[in-house]
Structure 1
Amino acid sequence: MADGKGSSLLPLPCVFSPKSRQYLAVCAQDGRLRIWNTDSKTLHQEYVPSAHLSATCTCIHWGPCRTIKEGPQRKKRKSEAGQLEEKADLLAMGTVAGTVLIYSTAKGVLHCTLDGGHSGGVNCVHWHPEDSLLYSGSDDTNIVEWDLQTGKMRSKWKADRAAVTSLCVSPDGKLLLSAGQTIKMWDLDTKEVYRKFTGHSTAVTTLHFATTRPPDSSSLYFLSGAAHNRLLSVWQVREDGRDKNSVVSFVLTDEPQHIDLVTSKSKEQAVRLAVVCKDGQLHLFEHFLNGPCKKPLSPSCTVQMSDTKDSPMPIPFLAAALCDESRSVMLAYGNYLQPVMERVDINTPDRHVCLTRNVQTTLSLSIASTVSKVKTPIVNAKSKVLVPGLPGHQAPVKATEKRKKDSDSKEMSIAERIGEIDLQSTALTEKGASQGTPSLQTDNFAVLLVQGLESGDGDILNKVFQTRKDQVIKKTVARLPLPAVLPMVEEITRRLQGHPFTAVFVVRWLKAVLTHHTSYLSSLPDLVSKLGVLYHMIESRVKTFHKLNKLHGKLYLLLTQVATSTGSNKVSDVDHTAKLVYEDESSDEDEASGPEDLVDEDSDNWEEDELMEEDKKAQTDQDEEDPDSRTDSKANGEENMEHDNESEEE
């Protein structure tokens, strides 16, 4: 029976051992596995997994009873040889990390660890009734068949589009029920779907076979329960395949948490059913499965429990198991950390039964000496032991404010103190605004915080918790008296469950409290129950962080691809204006002079021609500036020409 489903909102696993109901296996908020003995009402064993804080247990299922081979013992006599008794030994636990732990109650150690089969958290585990096989369903939508002899995966197949939330093997070991979005019945020999059943709109949390008959006789029944559904549906596997709708429905007061039933072996035998609902009530049913029934069936008896105080408070049931006797029920109620076990005979025709118990006296259960080898010291009966956190314990507290020792001075009320603090803060802000002085001193913050926690005033607490300065927060928490630490942690837990905007401010205070007062908190005896809600809330929020991180990466990749594709599709207009224009200065003169003045491109004196042109330009510029020099140049030019002509004649 695996009823825990990998979520902090769902109940913790709490299951009785099969047949004898001798043990109760419980996984509490701290991730420890505790096995209680129902006969002696003592803690039989306690196991702490190595990853009990990060990979908590989500589901538990007891293996079939077997003959336990213990360590070396004396040889038994012939009279004792046939007295071997089959006991419940192996216990399978699914974890959030995707592994399955097999624990041996006979040896008190971890038998083996099955890993490598699932990539998501394990939601359900179920044993094969005959072979040493185990089936597990996970968030990765797969079912894995494990071989316990080798400790390895035997086969793996995809079961549904959604996560596999529940499993159940038929009593003959030939069929397997799995549930995700739809209920499917598998043939274990071929691993193929035998039938499909639809009818639940939410995740199916529990599956149980109600009869032990083969499926080809139209007498095979099973029941299913879903989350947020107050009905248990019974399905019939028929030969003609017309089994799309449920044939019987059982009415509950709330969502089913734990179910135990006694299967029907013939048509003359009724199915007995015990259902523990989310509201803590127990419902007992007894019905003959002989075809469809249109009217939903009400429970034959509803059991509730309350304490013996003047204003009675309800005590929730954790688990229930039907015993071999017709009217005897084994109950577990109270707290998961220390449940109370009791066998009750409900032999009354009344449809509603209320049991009253004094939980304070029944909670004083003794721990077996085999669990702890530490000897308790002998304490004098007259001495009084004060444990931190309990009434009567007073730790040395530093003075948070100094008052004048005047005999005539009267003690001020809280309202007058708050008014003075407001006046002092406004005066400080007006005078020392340029110097950056804080509006309130850390001493006043510590006083305000203690007063707000004692009176439960939301305005005072809001004024304190809205501080963002880390230095002020550290000093305030350091000066907080020890009796106010645990109420402050509870107030922080309550505020973290509210709006996410307020959690941004409160997380800083939580960090400071855990930094300064961890040694004190670890000395409290009931710390686990106090911090259980905080731990599960942080675990549930951190669990979604990895999914959000993956989604953020995918969205970022998608947006970058869209941006690059849109940028490449934009075609800019071509700019037809030239960036660089080259003009040949000799082009105009060449056009005017005609073909005779064209210079041969292959001539070797092209540099001299360019130099001569530059000299001509410079000469013309000089002539424009000085006309007298122009006449001289002409005269000189004529003389030069004459000299040139003479040289040519010569």
Structure 2
Amino acid sequence: MALLKQHVSEFSPDGKLLAVVNDQGILKIWDTETNELKQEFTPNLHLSSKCSALSWVPISSQKQSKNDRKSLERNTSLYIALASSTGGVSLYSYALGKIERDLNGEGHSGKITSMFYDGKETLYTSGEDCQVISWNLRHEKQKSSFSIGNERPHAIAHLPNSNNIIVGARQLMVYSLETQELVQTFTGHTSEVTILTSFSIEDTEYAVSASKMERIICLWKIGKKGKNKASTCTLLMEDIAHTLSCQLDDEGNLKLASVTRSGVIHVYLIPLDNIKSEKPMKPKVTIEIASDSASVIQPIPAIAASLEHAMKGQILFCYGDRQFLTFEQIVPNYSEKLQVLVRTDPKTNFSKKKSLQTHDYGSSLKTITPKIDRHVDYNTGGMVSRKKLKPVEMPFESRLQNLNLNVGEKPEAQSKVQLLIQALHSKDASMLAMVLQTKDTKVIEMTLQRLPVQYVGSLVNELTLMMQSKRIQVESSARWLKILTQTHSSQLMALGTDDLLNKFGPCIGMIEYRSNCLMELSKLNGRLQLLVSQIKRNKEEDNLNNDNALLYADSDTSNSDMEEGMVGKSESDGEWEEDDDEEMES
């Protein structure tokens, strides 16, 4: 069962184990009874591809006994079929804790989107190459394959009564396994169907589906041949569904539990005899989980839920952050529409248990603290002299020089790698900001070169969140993202087009959004510069040094002086003209 594109999970056939594959491709197997992490498997990402779907498969093997060669003993081992993004299928042994073998065959030419086990040594897979392949688990090889058209399937389920399979794409298609022909089609979803399950009541078969971008669940009644049939009823949710689980009670009603992306559990009670398809149905009860902290009450998201593997009338669910999970079974209170469970955060429980274990371990051990005198003789590897060495007092400055310490030296890239890995594991915002605010390109390059490949995806997610913050954080995130793409280009190209778009789609969107605003900002900057320069120019013109900018003249003295000056000038001019005439005559 594939959960959109975030993670993959499924309960074991007896419900005692839960297998989860997170974003980094790490497989974790939890015990639902003891809340313990039983196994954790990290595949070699250089040799294998990312897991896209999984399914629990019990495989029986016949062995000849030692006492009687004619008698055969049948042993059943529990395996997990892991589907890769390159189209192959591997078998992970729960007993050995490793991938034991791969299934032989051509496989899919693209990513495997979904798979299911029919309980009769046959495994069915659907891929992006629009093919459905059946695998024989006993002989560990591919049996047959057939095409389902041009639509890419994202979910697949088995209909055992009619020996058909139902494939979910934009529409639901029912194919016969014997003739490999299209029997029936259903329409009703506007996006790709990602979750699909089936059940039957006597001779009537039903299918339940949820899509990628819709907050509804559709119930389909599988019948005779037909095309474009509508759903029997529609169920409403508050968010997109991640898991679905169905169970029939003694009265013939359908119990359906769904876990949404926000971590809320919806439980529905559907009377199959009296279904009203005109009006969408709301959940009978909604279960939310909150922390019991005295300071801040925060919601705890639910990860998965199951009705088939729980006790009668109860529901089995787990909650946490996929690193620390807690499993529980309760009886839903159908008299209330909203049921809030106050629980302790699994991370807090884990830290308390760890501290108690270390405390008990330390109290049980008898420790002796050695007493050391002040005068200690340090022996070398050669001959030891019996003469006592005189204590040599060295100044503190020389000691620092011997230690060869540089106070202003920057930390090495290896310490940055450890801090970055620790910050990505614990999701500590302060520690992550301290690492990502590094501006030295050489330190960033060495840090990313030594960063394991499984942490690249989580680092891209953190950088995407930083690009939505302030300008300083945007600069640092762009710097790290540029060097990251240059350093891990080969690993990123091996992910494929869809995974790259999912990882870098938000980053590309933020970059395009900010680049679109760059043109308007440049225009505004130019206009502001013109206004500022004009204001400065006006101020400079007003502040010119002009001594005669202001004159004051007295009305009594100025006029008389000017008149006397004018009269004297006219008389002197006449005298000069007479002298000139006399000189010309002589």
**TM-score tier (shorter):** 0.5 to 0.7
2:481 to 507, 512, 516: 507
Aligned to 2:7: 12
- Aligned partner of 1:308: which letter? D
Aligned to 1:126: 116
What is the count of residue pairs matched by the alignment?
425
Q: Does 1:341 align with 2:331?
A: no
Flag the structure with higher strand content. Answer: 2
Aligned to 1:299: 283
Q: Does 1:317 align with 2:291?
A: no
How far, CA to CA, are the matches of 1:400 and 1:490 in structure 2?
32
Deviation at 1:246, TM superposition (A): 0.8
Q: 1:205 to 1:476 in 2, by over 3 A?
A: closer
Contact (CA 8 Å) 1:170, 1:212: kept in 2 or not?
no
1:311-358 deviation per Cα after TM superposition (whole angstroms, max 9, x unaligned): 211111110111453331111111223322222233452121111111
- Aligned partner of 1:55: which letter? S
Contact (CA 8 Å) 1:11, 1:257: kept in 2 or not?
no
Aligned to 2:157: 168
1:149-173 deviation per Cα after TM superposition (whole angstroms, max 9, x unaligned): 2222211111131321000001337
Aligned to 1:362: 349
How far, CA to CA, are the matches of 2:32 and 2:127 in structure 1?
31
SS in 1 for 2:229: coil
How far, CA to CA, are the matches of 2:165 and 2:368 in structure 1?
63
1:286 to 259, 269, 273: 269
Aligned to 2:127: 138
Q: 1:325 to 1:495 in 2, by over 3 A?
A: closer
How far, CA to CA, are the matches of 1:68 and 1:343 in structure 2?
34
Runs of 5+ consecutive residues of structure 1 not aligned to the other structure: 76-83, 368-374, 384-395, 403-445, 447-452, 478-487, 516-534, 549-650
Contact (CA 8 Å) 2:315, 2:331: kept in 1 or not?
yes
Q: 1:357 to 1:56 in 2, by over 3 A?
A: same
Aligned to 2:20: 26
Contact (CA 8 Å) 2:285, 2:333: kept in 1 or not?
no
- Aligned partner of 2:480: which letter? V
SS in 2 for 1:163: coil
Runs of 5+ consecutive residues of structure 2 not aligned to the other structure: 69-73, 355-360, 370-403, 411-415, 417-427, 449-458, 505-586
1:553-603 deviation per Cα after TM superposition (whole angstroms, max 9, x unaligned): xxxxxxxxxxxxxxxxxxxxxxxxxxxxxxxxxxxxxxxxxxxxxxxxxxx
- Aligned partner of 1:232: which letter? I
Aligned to 1:152: 141
How far, CA to CA, are the matches of 2:83 and 2:306 in structure 1?
22
How far, CA to CA, are the matches of 1:70 and 1:350 in structure 2?
55
TM-score by length of 2: 0.61
Aligned to 1:262: 247
Contact (CA 8 Å) 1:101, 1:112: kept in 2 or not?
yes
Contact (CA 8 Å) 2:333, 2:339: kept in 1 or not?
no
Q: 1:490 to 1:164 in 2, by over 3 A?
A: closer
Q: 1:399 to 1:490 in 2, by over 3 A?
A: farther
Contact (CA 8 Å) 2:241, 2:258: kept in 1 or not?
yes
Contact (CA 8 Å) 2:3, 2:243: kept in 1 or not?
no
Rg larger in 1 or in 2? 1
How far, CA to CA, are the matches of 1:354 and 1:135 in structure 2?
39
How far, CA to CA, are the matches of 2:117 and 2:444 in structure 1?
53
* % identical equivalent positions: 23
- Aligned partner of 1:22: which letter? K
Contact (CA 8 Å) 2:315, 2:330: kept in 1 or not?
yes
Q: 1:181 to 1:29 in 2, by over 3 A?
A: closer
- Aligned partner of 1:38: which letter? T
- Aligned partner of 1:506: which letter? W
1:232-279 deviation per Cα after TM superposition (whole angstroms, max 9, x unaligned): 111122347477111111111111101111157x9x511111100111
Aligned to 1:92: 81
Q: Does 1:253 align with 2:253?
A: no
Deviation at 1:60, TM superposition (A): 1.8
2:255 to 248, 256, 272: 272
Aligned to 1:51: 45
SS in 1 for 2:179: coil
Contact (CA 8 Å) 1:128, 1:173: kept in 2 or not?
no
Aligned to 2:99: 110
1:37-56 deviation per Cα after TM superposition (whole angstroms, max 9, x unaligned): 22232222333334388622
Deviation at 1:494, TM superposition (A): 3.7
RCO higher in 1 or 2 (8 Å CA, sep ≥ 6)? 1
Contact (CA 8 Å) 2:218, 2:231: kept in 1 or not?
yes
Contact (CA 8 Å) 1:260, 1:274: kept in 2 or not?
yes
Contact (CA 8 Å) 2:186, 2:227: kept in 1 or not?
no
Alignment of 1:169-208 (within 5 A): 169-172=158-161, 174-208=163-197
1:193-249 deviation per Cα after TM superposition (whole angstroms, max 9, x unaligned): 1101111110101111132444xxxx3221111011111111122347477111111
TM-score by length of 1: 0.55
Contact (CA 8 Å) 1:308, 1:357: kept in 2 or not?
yes
How far, CA to CA, are the matches of 1:476 and 1:172 in structure 2?
57
Deviates more, 1:144-153 or 1:338-347: 338-347
Deviates more, 1:346-355 or 1:219-228: 346-355
- Aligned partner of 2:281: which letter? L
